Amino acid sequence: MSFENFGLKTELLSAVAAEGYTTPTPVQTEAIPVILQKRDVLAGAQTGTGKTAAFALPILQLLGNTKGKACKPRCLVLTPTRELAAQIQESFESLGRSLSLRSTVIFGGVGINPQIDKLRRGVDILVATPGRLLDHAGRRTLDLSQVEILVLDEADRMLDMGFIHDIRKVLKLLPNRRQNMLFSATYSPDIKRLADKLLNNPEIIEVSSSNKAADGVDQTVYPVARTRKRELLSTLVRNGEWEMLLVFTRTKHGANRLTKQLIKDGIKAAAIHGNKSQTARTRALADFKSGSIRALVATDIAARGLDIDMLPHVVNFDLPNVPEDYVHRIGRTGRAGAQGIAISLVCQEEQKQLKDIQRLLNHKIPVKKVDGFDQERTVPTQPDTFRKKRPTSRPRYSQTPR
Ligand code: AMP
């Protein structure tokens, strides 16, 4: 299978070649022909599968074939996070570089006036997060009456983040006749309900179940006491000479604390999470990509949709509470065929999460012990008499929301 088989315009084929894509990924092979037939699509595909080009290429082709009216958006892509929105718009921009279609991105946390100016000048493809989109609609600086194609990307994450009401409001602003696509890594009952309401006789595309996506990644669990995780991480980074790692913590506070500690250990690091300004997040990502920082420390939500090619190491500093998040996290490494390494620092208190993750993966994750950090050795030995009195259940640590 090659991109030529889809009957795409030469402008798109040359953009694909310039991006260095030689063979379509499975989601592209399945989705592109269906979208070109103007059919609705429900696709189970997560970040790293090439899903952005799977919808961007046929959308560019369809919009490039016809003329729109009055410079109003003809395609709307809704995404959960600013980073993902920015990356999707960049993909439209680079894949559509030789077409005369205009795309723009709007999200919160930055000034609204430049966005108003861009919308006023006219746009064919609009990529947006739901809140700021509604803000524009409320100010009447945006007219969605000419939208022909709607994409909900990472729909599961949008629902997790509480965007369902905003999505419903946006749907009311769109014309009834339109092509719809819903991309989601997981199918919860809520997603099914949304899909039933939104999609008209959709083609269902499932590229890989979430546990399969994890198979291409070399995964290891390091047992370690909770209090010694940072030390172990710094040791692994130094000994393994890891140059580029994405580290996941469960909380924003944890991300900040770990970042400071890594810097003290001589490992250049930056945190990326929802409390950081857009400028700080963009700078951290740029520094990470350019190699001027080695470790990017992120929470699940902030990391979602970060487009970083060939990320060699993903570290679960804390295991996620939701097993599917583990799969999303490690899906950030070994992208587009490259071999990736995912390591998890697991303390006694996280055994339940580990069990749930292994159940989802349907296999055990290999365990490696590092001398001096092995869990049992780090737990202070207690006299026998005392040990007998210890409660069998361990204290639970309070969890601050992400
Ligand atoms: P996505 O799942 O859309 O976030 O894409 C993941 C990564 O794969 C991005 O860095 C894309 O540039 C890259 N990519 C997309 N399609 C292809 C392809 N056909 N061949 C190689 N890389 C691709």
Among protein residues, the one with the nearest Cα to ligand 1's atom 15 is: 50
Average pLDDT, the chain: 86
**24 Cα nearest atom in ligand 1:** 19
Is a pLDDT exceeding 50 seen at residue 252?
yes
Alpha-carbon distances of 355 from 16, 54, 100, 248, 368, rounded to whole Å: 42, 34, 52, 19, 17
339 Cα: distance to centroid of ligand 1 (angstroms): 15
Q: Which amino acid is at 307?
A: D
Instruction: Average the pLDDT over each of 150-159, 275-284, 318-327, 380-389 and give the range with the smallest value.
Output: 380-389
Q: Residue 208: what pLDDT?
A: 59
Name the residue of 3, 25, 57, 154 to mutate for ligand 1: max ligand atoms within 8 A of Cβ: 25
pTM, rounded to two decimals: 0.62
DSSP bridge partners of 217: 340
Q: Where are the beta strands (DSSP E) in 259-386?
A: 269-272, 295-298, 313-316, 340-346
Q: Which helix (H) or strand (E) holds 126?
A: strand 125-128
Closest residue by CA, ligand 1 atom 21: 21
Separation of CA 336 and ligand 1 centre (Å): 6
Q: How confident is the model at residue 382, as a pLDDT?
A: 41
Residue 63 CA from chain centroid, whole number = 26
Stretch 94-118: mean pLDDT: 95
SS3 (DSSP) at 38: coil
State residue 68's pLDDT score.
Answer: 67
The closest of 233, 227, 218, 219 to 375, measured between CA atoms, is 227
Give 203's contacts (C-beta < 8 A, 6+ positions apart).
34, 39, 40, 41, 42
Q: Phi/psi of residue 240, each to 5°?
A: -85, -5
CA of 116 to the centre of ligand 1 (A): 31
Ligand 1 atom having least distance to the Cα of 25: 19
- Name every protein residue with a CB atom under 6 angstroms from any ligand 1 atom: 21, 23-25, 28, 47-53, 307, 309, 335-336
Q: How far is the CA of 398 from the centre of ligand 1 (A)?
A: 38
Whole-angstrom distance, CA of residue 49 vs CA of residue 59: 18
Model confidence pLDDT, tens digit, residues 256-299: 999 999 999 999 999 988 777 778 888 888 899 889 999 999 98
* Residue from 19, 89, 308, 332 to probe ligand 1 pocket by mutation (most atoms less than 8 Å from CB): 19
CA of 56 to the centre of ligand 1 (A): 12
Please list, in sequence order, all residues whose beta carbon lies within 8 angstroms of the beta carbon of residue 207, skipping any fewer than 6 positions away: 25, 26, 27, 30, 43, 44, 45, 49
Neighbouring-strand partners of residue 126: 76, 104
Torsion of CA 318, 324, 330, 336, to 10 degrees: -160
CA of 20 to the centre of ligand 1 (A): 10
Q: List, for residues 291-326, the tens digit of each pLDDT value.
A: 999 999 998 877 765 666 668 899 999 999 888 788
| Ligand 1, pocket-test mutation among 16, 47, 52, most atoms within 8 A of CB | 52
Domains of the chain in start order, with CATH, are 3-206 (3.40.50.300), 217-361 (3.40.50.300)
According to the model, what pLDDT value does residue 336 have?
55
Cα distances (Å, whole numbers) of residue 384 to 379, 380, 387, 389, 391: 14, 12, 5, 9, 14
| Residue 339: burial class (beta carbons within 10 Å; 0-12, 13-18, 19+) | exposed
Q: Which helix (H) or strand (E) holds 218?
A: strand 217-223
38-52 pLDDT, tens digit per residue, is: 999 999 887 777 899
Please give the single-letter amino acid code of residue 173. L
Q: What is the DSSP letter of 195?
A: H
The residue whose C-alpha atom lies closest to atom 6 belonging to ligand 1 is: 48
Report the atom number in ligand 1 closest to the C-alpha of 45.
Answer: 2
**C-alpha dist (Å) from residue 169 to 133, 212, 289:** 10, 35, 36
Percent of the chain with pLDDT over 70: 87
For the segment 96-105, the average pLDDT, to the nearest whole number, is 94
